Amino acid sequence: MTHPQPLFVDTNAFVALFDTDDEHHTAANAVLDGIRDGDLAYGPIFTSRYVLSETATVLLYGVGHREAVDALTTIRASSTFNILDVTKPIFDRTAEQFAQYDDQQISFIDHLNSVFGEQFDIDHIFAFEEDFRTLGMTRVPVDTGDVPTTS
């Protein structure tokens, strides 16, 4: 049996989970179902308050207020997700990394997720954005092929 690997969840995975019109909705739900059923060896599962903030904002403007509130309530009440706080050292390291990538257009939140990966030894991220490959993370399911994805 494979030893579970820690996984960080990005905004676009949460949006895909809760927005039924998102192009990655089916794949995102298959990943989460696979983790919960024990078919995919990931755990513990992490995210951050900043990711939740961004998720709520994206869902608010893309789908609606009720959906954004429902998503936040579901994530926060779930025992599946460990929600990390952004400490001053992590924020400072993120600002440094963000400044270093001056030839890229990678969001501050994506850099923050990468720094959490460094700090907590998390190599895999539940995300669909290409930027995470640039930041040295392995995207689940896109890079791992754990479930079929749509592009």
| Per-residue pLDDT at 151 exceeds 50 | no
**Residues with Cβ < 8 Å from 69, sequence gap 6 or more?**
56
Full strand arrangement of the beta sheet holding 42-48: 81-84, 42-48, 5-9, 124-127, 138-141
Paired tokens of 27: 């794949």
DSSP-derived pairing of the beta strands 5-9 and 42-48 = parallel
Give the pLDDT confidence of 70-121 residue by residue, as tens digits.
Answer: 999 999 999 999 999 999 999 999 999 999 998 889 999 999 999 999 999 9
| Averaged pLDDT, 22-38 | 94
